[in-house]
Amino acid sequence: MRFLPLLFFSSLAFADIEYQTTIVTVQPFDHELVGSIFLTFNDNDLSGVSPTNPAYLRLELKESTLISGTNAEGSDPIYLAARARFLNPSPTSLINIPTDSITLIRSKDGEKGLWIRFTAGTDEWLSVDGVLQPPSEDQKVDIYIGISGSESYDHFRDDFAMGRANLEANMRNGAPADTQLHVNLTTTTLEAGERLEVYARLWDATTTGVETEEFETNIVFGNQIGIYSGENPEIARLDPRYAVPTLGEWGSIFFTSALCLTALIMGRRRKLMEVRTG
């Protein structure tokens, strides 16, 4: 597996959530580690969200690709760190997101989508000079998944020390947690050189079963928040070396002739065997 020197960027119209990803080359018919996803909030997109009125971001793998290995589920979530980035920061420019309010709540083996749950409204994600404010173009909030626990610690610890990150790393049971995403490509419909995308959609609190249902098919989707228009974030590309070469006109003629000749030879051998045993 090798990383491609490429950063993919896409924004969603229903919410000012930006996605940046790293892209890796993966092999077919295998279980592979794919790229990371960097999400940025720059508006008051989750206004009114609370523990009793959560929102869910679902990142669904495309092309019949499945998650490989369980990394989080309702009873054992991963708390995702959030970092504030201020255009003109001051010592009183701080993050105000509760440590348990952004969670990787479901990422299970054999399922198509992973789920991030939000239980704090963006209205009060930031504190500037003691005034609670939402994200904006001048003060953004980032979360980062698809990375190891140590990578998340390196990414967030300095901002945590300054009060600009709510956790020093993505955490589980008091320790930095791995959110790397492995996928099962044994059933993928991707062809050589094609990209693996994630289908990002935001759902409201009428969605049920994310935390409790054993099987993904039993989750009841609620109302989608906003309408998507844009490209889907890309996290991997299938190795182009696995392309099946085309035979061309003369190649097809040769291949067909070879099959006919083989059938003829096998037919004659059968007849000889029948004569000898008759």
- Is residue 124 within 8 Å of residue 46, measured between CB atoms? no
Per-position pLDDT tens, the chain of length 278: 444 434 444 333 345 688 889 999 998 888 999 999 999 999 998 999 999 999 999 999 988 899 999 999 998 999 999 999 999 999 999 999 999 999 999 999 999 999 999 999 999 999 999 999 999 999 999 999 999 999 999 999 999 999 999 999 999 999 999 999 999 998 888 888 899 999 889 999 999 999 999 999 999 999 998 755 456 888 999 888 765 444 455 555 555 666 566 666 766 666 666 656 55
Count CB atoms within 10 A of the CB of residue 226: 13
205 and 252 inside one domain: no
Confidence at residue 83, expressed as pLDDT on a 0 to 100 scale:
98
Whether 253 and 140 map to the same domain: the answer is no
Question: What's phi and psi for 20, nearest 5 deg?
Answer: -125, 140
Same domain assignment for residues 131 and 87: yes
Structure tokens at 41: 């909030």
Is residue 238 domain-shared with residue 249, that is, in the same domain? no
276, 193: one domain: no
Q: What's the rounded Cα separation, in Å, for the pair 181 and 172?
A: 16
Contact 165, 95 (CB under 8 A): yes
- Position 160 scores a pLDDT of 98
Domain count, the chain: 2
Give the pLDDT score at 228. Answer: 55
Residue 84's beta-bridge partner residues? 141
DSSP string, 145-195: ESS-HHHHHHHHHHHHHTTSBSSSSSEETTEE-----EEE-TT----TTPE
pTM of the shown model: 0.82
Shared domain check, 48 and 6? yes
pLDDT of the residue at 232: 80
Q: Which two tokens stand for residue 200?
A: 């990002």
Full domain range(s) for residue 249: 245-278
Q: Tell me: do 72 and 195 sit in the same domain.
A: yes
Among candidates 225, 187, 196, 216, which has minimal Cα distance to 61?
196
Are 198 and 112 spatial neighbours (Cβ–Cβ below 8 Å)?
no
Same domain, 155 and 23: yes
pLDDT value of residue 275 = 56
16 and 74 both lie in a single domain: yes
